[in-house]
Amino acid sequence: MDVFTLALSLFVALMALAVFTNKARAAQHYSSELTPNCLLTRWPLLFVTGPRSFFYFSAYWNIYPSYLAEHGYEVFHLRLPWNKGELRKQRLLEFLNAQDEADRKYHLIVDEYTLKEFSDLLRSQRPSCIVSLTEISDPNQSGQDSSLQGLPFVFANIEVLPSNKSSLFVKWCYSFHRLLLTGKHLPSLSALGACEDTKLQNGRLLLDRAQLLAEMDLRQG
């Protein structure tokens, strides 16, 4: 077997592993009793995707959107370009301008890297379509800085419970994902809801936040 054939075989095997793992992770199931009598937000919850690659592209937020949707919340996704910063900023700006024109409003949910990535844009544009911004981060890794204090929306950070208990294939693929995006401080699998022992606990933290946002919406009418 020559070097080219060996390299090609390895590449095909890695791509197959990536596709299989993404599909398996996106199809993960969980069992949990619903929290009764949840107060629902007036405005939809909008999950924004962080940087993606072929090794991590499907179901970026794992169980979080479906967990909130099962409790009755209206949940949307904003799927930005995979990892090119300027394209991601351009797409987000286009989206925010369109929502401002249509007078739509959302509660945004982002990860720690995405908050740092877009903080300058949010500060300069001051979009009226954002009612609140919730950052999900690993402990002591928040992307919040003083520049966000004067923005016309409510900000909060959720520090997730740490864990490293994912399947071996998921860990491998996420390691390749981080390797491809070297230089980007990406969130952990636990922050993204992909660890078996913390995904529901972290989902409940997000549910608590959603209920606080619902109370805020109710007060504001």
For 14-24, the pLDDT digits (tens) are: 777 777 777 77
CB 87 within 8 A of CB 81: yes
pLDDT digits (tens, 9 = 90+) for 77-124: 999 999 999 999 999 999 999 999 999 999 999 999 999 999 999 999
Q: How many domains does the chain have?
A: 1
Cα separation, 53 vs 47, whole angstroms: 18
Task: Give the global pTM.
Answer: 0.92
Chain-centre distance for alpha carbon 109? 7
pLDDT digits (tens, 9 = 90+) for 140-195: 888 666 667 777 899 999 999 999 999 888 999 999 999 999 999 999 999 999 99
Instruction: Report angle CA 195, 164, 205 to the nearest 5 degrees.
Output: 50
3-state helix, strand, coil in the chain (%, to 5): 45, 15, 40
Structural domain for 210, as ranges: 3-220
Alpha-carbon distances, residue 52 vs 35, 107, 165, 183 (angstroms): 32, 22, 21, 14
The better pLDDT of the pair 79, 35 is held by: 79
pLDDT for residue 139: 93
pLDDT for residue 145: 65
What is the three-class DSSP state of 7? helix
pLDDT for residue 81: 98
For residue 92, the surrounding DSSP H or E stretch is: helix 85-102
Task: Name the β-bridge partners of 132.
Answer: 107, 154
Mean pLDDT for 28-49 is: 89
Cα separation, 180 vs 104, whole angstroms: 36
Say which DSSP state 177 is in: H
CB 145 within 8 A of CB 123: no
Round the CA-based radius of gyration of the chain to a whole number and report it: 18
Res 136 pLDDT > 80 = yes
H helices, E strands: number in the chain: 6, 5
Which segments within the chain are labelled E, that is strand? 45-48, 75-78, 106-111, 130-137, 154-159
Alpha-carbon distances, residue 9 vs 17, 21, 56 (angstroms): 12, 18, 21
